[in-house]
């Protein structure tokens, strides 16, 4: 099978799964004619059907189709043994003397709505023409030793578009299939889901929008500006106490710990007395010693 055709068939079966609930293994109804043509063209029927439908299949055959193989001329015993390996679909026509035609038998088995989700594989054009009027029914046939899957018929396409319109009306939060009921959620799961939604919306609100335009320079490469005086210090008046310098501690003061016993105030330091050699007996300095020699001689004259 070509890659393009296989991709189209896979997409088509995916649409049947979404819209009509088909699932693997697909139930394929086979009639006597397609079994005979597959035997004539030497086609391994089951692997070829799995390749066309892109999934596992469950081949099924009705009792009327088995009786058609027994009544065929010439009779093919090997083909009958092969047909017996498939699952028998009871059509309740075995009590009749003659089997019903493929059209009558398959139409009764499939029904007007194909509620059991069958896939019909038939070589009879009348059978395929009648099955095209049923919505959601895939059809398979063999053409020149090539197995083909028919595209969606008109009824199926109309029902598919109606389902799409229904989903569009419900919106994105509506259920995909209105006929299928929703599952009941636990209270804890519902509360957790609501909390996660609220957290997500809060995080989105906190995020700032990115500014558009030229990028700003790196703040580390910008020279820092001089620190301006604060408004409080500029507006506050300067008091007299703040302008005067703090008084220096007196050199004459002594710590209270060195004061003698019984005295609580600071102890004054004693003044040093000059020696007699530095001045006269009365403590006055010697003026003559400090005068130059020439001045003394003139004074003596």
pTM score, two decimals?
Answer: 0.55
Tell me the fold of 3-160: Rossmann fold (3.40.50)
User: What is the structure's pLDDT at 229?
Assistant: 62
Nearest to 15 by CA among 164, 129, 182, 168: 164
User: What is the structure's pLDDT at 285?
Assistant: 54
Report yes or no: 6 and 50 within 8 Å, Cβ to Cβ: no
Strand partners, 146: 143
CB neighbour list of residue 12: distance below 8 Å, 6 or more residues apart: 138, 149, 151, 152
User: What is the structure's pLDDT at 78?
Assistant: 94
Question: Which secondary-structure segment (H or E) carries 104?
Answer: helix 102-110
User: What is the structure's pLDDT at 280?
Assistant: 47
* Cα separations in angstroms, 297 against 290, 293, 300: 14, 7, 5
For the chain, 301 residues long, give each residue's pLDDT as a single digit of tens: 788 999 999 999 998 998 889 999 999 999 999 999 999 999 999 999 999 999 999 999 999 999 999 999 889 999 999 999 999 988 888 778 888 999 999 999 999 989 999 999 999 999 999 999 998 899 999 998 899 999 988 777 777 777 777 776 666 555 555 555 555 555 555 555 556 666 656 566 565 566 677 778 888 888 887 776 665 555 555 554 445 555 555 544 445 544 555 555 556 666 666 655 554 445 555 555 555 565 555 555 5
Paired tokens of 255? 């710590």
User: What is the structure's pLDDT at 12?
Assistant: 92
Residue 42 and residue 45: Cα distance in Å, rounded? 9
Residue 18 and residue 27: Cα distance in Å, rounded? 17
CB neighbour list of residue 135: distance below 8 Å, 6 or more residues apart: 20, 113, 114, 153, 155, 156, 158, 159
């Amino acid at each position: 099978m070509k890659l393009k055709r296989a991709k189209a068939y896979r997409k088509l079966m995916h649409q049947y799964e979404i819209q009509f609930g088909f699932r693997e293994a697909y139930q394929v109804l086979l009639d006597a004619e397609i079994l005979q043509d597959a035997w004539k063209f030497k086609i391994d029927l089951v692997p070829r059907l799995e390749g066309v439908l892109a999934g596992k299949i469950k081949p099924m055959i009705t009792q009327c189709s088995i009786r058609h193989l027994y009544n065929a001329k010439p009779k093919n015993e090997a083909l009958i043994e092969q047909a017996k390996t498939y699952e028998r679909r009871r059509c309740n026509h075995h009590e009749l003397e003659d089997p019903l035609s493929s059209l009558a038998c398959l139409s009764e088995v499939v029904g007007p709505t194909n509620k059991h989700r069958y896939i019909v594989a038939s070589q009879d054009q009348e059978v395929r023409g009648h099955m095209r009027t049923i919505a959601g029914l895939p059809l398979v046939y063999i053409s020149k030793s090539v197995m083909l899957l028919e595209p969606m018929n008109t009824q199926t396409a109309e029902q598919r578009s109606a389902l799409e319109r229904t989903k569009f009306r419900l919106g994105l939060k509506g259920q995909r299939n209105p006929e299928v009921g929703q599952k009941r959620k636990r209270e804890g799961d519902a509360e957790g889901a609501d909390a996660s939604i609220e957290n997500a919306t809060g995080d989105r609100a906190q995020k700032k929008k990115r500014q558009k335009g030229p990028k700003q320079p790196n703040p580390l490469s910008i020279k820092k500006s001089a620190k301006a005086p604060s408004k409080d210090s500029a507006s506050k008046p300067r008091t007299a106490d703040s302008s005067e310098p703090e008084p220096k501690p007196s050199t004459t003061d002594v710590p209270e710990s060195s004061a003698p016993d019984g005295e609580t105030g600071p102890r004054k330091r004693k003044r040093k007395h000059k020696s007699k050699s530095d001045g006269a007996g009365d403590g006055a300095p010697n003026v003559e010693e400090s005068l130059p020699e020439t001045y003394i001689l003139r004074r003596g004259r």
